[in-house]
Amino acid sequence: MCVAAAGGYRIGTVRCDKGGENSGSEFRDYCKNSAIKLEYAATNTPEYIGVSERDGQSLAGVTQCLLKDGDFPPSVWGELMLTAANLLNISPHSALGGATPYSKLHNMSPDLSGLRVIGARAFVHHERYRKKLDDRAFEGKLCGFGLDKATGYSIHPTRPWSTAGM
């Protein structure tokens, strides 16, 4: 839905399956309040919503690769799926003539200067709670990033972090 707001577009119809993520009252209420028509495909007929099914399959595939390659626990899948979506949105697509979805939506090329290797060793500095002989940073693995400078990075700890007694 934020795509419509970012590009100045209006969504008229959403076609989806009857999965739980699409049939909740919050989603239905949002669509009703936004004057968006909901069309549900028949049960077990993914061919009626083929584009979104294919995109979901691509997204799940990239997420699984990030999860396995970075040796992350399964609990991090949500953050990695957001990262996978960001990566796909800044990657060239043949249906767009080699352009990226990001550049088509925002009429500018994405800033790739903040890209880092997912699963790379990362450190989070914590001067605020640090005592003189405490570690100066927590170690973790990079599991996500935002497409703008303000969003920053998401770090998954390699060992439990504790601020007890700080």
> What CATH number did the domain enclosing 93 receive?
3.30.420.10
Q: Which pairing describes strands 37-40 and 121-125: parallel, antiparallel, or unpaired?
A: unpaired
For residues 49 and 73, the answer to whether their CB atoms sit within 8 Å is no
What percent of the chain has pLDDT above 90?
22
Residue 150 lies inside a defined structural domain of this protein = no
Residue 10 lies inside a defined structural domain of this protein = yes
Residue 109 lies inside a defined structural domain of this protein = yes
Domain count, the chain: 1
pTM of the shown model: 0.74
Domain that holds residue 47: 2-113
Residue 75 lies inside a defined structural domain of this protein = yes
The reported pLDDT for the residue numbered 68 is: 94
Per-residue pLDDT reduced to its tens digit, 67-124: 999 999 999 899 999 999 999 999 999 989 999 998 988 899 988 888 889 999 988 8
